[in-house]
Structure 1
Amino acid sequence: MNSSGSTKERILGAAEVLFAQRGFDGASLRQLTTAAGVNLAAVNYHFGSKDKLVEEVFRRRLDALNASRLAALAKVAGQADTTLEDVLAAYIRPALDLSHDGSGSLFMRVLARAFAEHDDTLRQFLSANYGHVMRQFTAEFARQLPQLSKPELYWRIDLVTGALTHAMSGFGMIQRKHDVSEQVHREQTAQHLIRFAVAGLSHP
C-alpha cells in the first residue's frame, strides 16, 4: 500500500473509533487528526470536509456489505423454489458476518449512532447510495408475501431491520459463552433471527 493509501486508511480508522465513541458532532477534527497522527491538511486533501469523511466511513463498510447482500439475493430472487427463509438469509447473514469481524463490530456502533442522532444529511446520503438495495429486497419480500399491503410490508421489514441492528450491536442479553466459538455463536444468532423474522413477516 502506498503512503497516500495508508494515510487515508489511518484517518478512516481513527474516525470510525471516534464516531463510535463520541458521535458525529462530538468528535472534532482536532481529536481526529491527533488520533490519526496527521495534520488537518491531510484530512482536507483526502476528504474535503468532515461531512465527506463521515460518508466515506460508511461507504468503506456498506459498499462491501451490500455487494454481498445483492450477490446472495441474486441467487434466490425470482426462483420458484425460493423461500422467505432464503431471502432473509441473504439479508441477514452478510450483515452478521460484518458485525462479528473485529473492525466491523466497531462500525455497528457508528451505524447505531447514525440512527440515534437523526442526521438528515447522512440519511439522505444512505438513501441515495444504498436505497436501491432495500428496494430489491422489498420486491422479493413482496413476492414472498403477496397477502401483505405495501404499508404493512414496510412496517414489518423496518422492524426486522431493527432486530438485525440490535443483534449486530452485541449489546443484547444473549452474549457468546466462553465455550462457544465466534462462528457457532454467529450461526446461532442467524438461525434465531431468521426464525423470528419469518414469524413476524408472515403472521396474518
Structure 2
Amino acid sequence: MTDTDFAQAGPSKAIETILLAAEVEFAEHGFDGAGMKAISKRAGLSQALLHYHFGTKDRLYEEVIGQRSKKINDERMRLLTKVDMRSHEALDGILEALFLPPLGPSGGAKPYARIFSGLIVGREREQALVKEYYDPTAINFIAALQTALPGLDRPTAAMCYTLALGTLIAVIGRDGRVERLMGRSAKQDIDDYLKSIVAFAKGGVLALEARR
C-alpha cells in the first residue's frame, strides 16, 4: 500500500497504521533499537509521511503509549465504576478492574505487554510517561482500595496498588514461562491468569492491611 492509498483513506487510517507498526517495533527492539526507517517499512509508508505525522521518534513513542494507555485506562475506569464498594467482593472487583484490561484486547496483546512491562522499570523517559498517562488512574484505584477497606491509609493503599501491579507485570507477557515452570505445554487462558493474580494480590492486600 502506498502513501497515495493512505491519503485517499484519510489521515486517521495512516496514523492508526503507523501507531500499530511502531508498537510492534518498539516492543521487539526497545526505544533505542527501533528506528523510524524500520517503522515506516513495517507500516508500508514512506519515512517522510512518518515524520510528517509525528516528527520525531520520541513523539511517536509517546503517542504509542498515550493511545494504548487511554484504551486500557478507559476500560479500567468503566469496570471500576461498576464495583459495589459496600460489597464483600469489592476488593476482588477492584483488582479485576485493574488487571483485566491490560490482559484483554484493550491491552494490545503481546507487543504492548513488553512495552508496558518496560515502562514500570524504565528510565527517565518512561517514568515521565507513566506519571502523565498512568498515575491519574492509579490514584483512583488507590482511593477505591481505601473505600473498600475503611481505615487503610494512603501510603499502605499505594503500596498495595504498586505490589499488585508488580503481580500483573510478572505474567502480562504470557511468554509461556509460567506454564513451563508448571510443567504444562498448553498456555493458560486469560481467565486462568486473572483468577490467579486476583487471588494472589488480594491475599497480599489483606496481609498488608492486617500488618498495619
TM-score (norm 2): 0.81
The higher-RCO structure (CA 8 Å, 6+ apart) is 1
> Equivalent residue for 1:135?
139
Tell whether the 8 Å contact from 1:55 to 1:122 is kept in structure 2 after alignment.
no
Q: 1:174 aligns with which of 165, 173, 179?
A: 179
1:47: which partner in 2?
54
Q: Which residue of 2 aligns with 1:155?
A: 159
What residue identity is the alignment partner of 2:55?
G
Give the drift of 1:147.
4.2
Q: Distance in 1 between matches of 2:50 and 2:153?
A: 47
- Out of 71, 76, 90, the residue aligned to residue 69 of structure 1 is 76
Distance 1:48 1:173 in 2: 40
2:28 counterpart residue number: 21
Partner Cα distance (2:25, 2:102) in 1: 22
Is 1:123 aligned with 2:127? yes
Q: Is the 8 A contact 2:113 2:173 kept in 1?
A: yes
Matches within 5 A, 1:85-100: 85-98=92-105
Taking the aligned partners of 1:5 and 1:136, their CA distance within structure 2 comes to 31
Report the AA paired with residue 37 of structure 1. G
Q: Call closer, same or farther: CA 1:75–1:8 in 2, change over 3 Å.
A: same
Q: Which of 8, 11, 33 is matched with 1:4 structurally?
A: 11
How far apart in 1 are the matches of 2:115 and 2:54?
18
Partner of 1:80: 86
Contact 1:66 1:133 in 2 (8 A): yes
Gaps of 5+ in 1: none
Q: CA 1:129–1:115 in 2, change beyond 3 Å: closer, same or farther?
A: closer
**In structure 1, C-alpha distance between the alignment counterparts of 2:42 and 2:103, rounded to whole Å:** 28
Report the Cα offset of residue 20 of structure 1: 0.9
Give the residue type in structure 1 aligned to 2:192: Q
Deviation of 1:23 (Å): 0.6
Q: Does 1:32 align with 2:3?
A: no
* Superposition misfits of 4+ residues, deviation over 4 angstroms: none
Read off the aligned partner of 1:80 and give its amino acid letter.
Answer: R
What displacement does 1:177 show? 5.0
Matched-pair contact (CA < 8 Å) for 1:92–1:190: yes
Question: Which runs of no fewer than 5 residues in structure 2 stay unpaired?
Answer: 1-5
Q: What is the distance in 2 between the residues matched to 1:72 and 1:114? A: 23
Deviation at 1:61, TM superposition (A): 1.7
CA contact (8 A) 1:98 1:105 kept: no
Corresponding residue SS for 2:126: helix
Which letter does structure 1 place at the counterpart of 2:98? Y
Normalising to structure 1: TM-score of the pair? 0.84
How many residues align structurally? 196
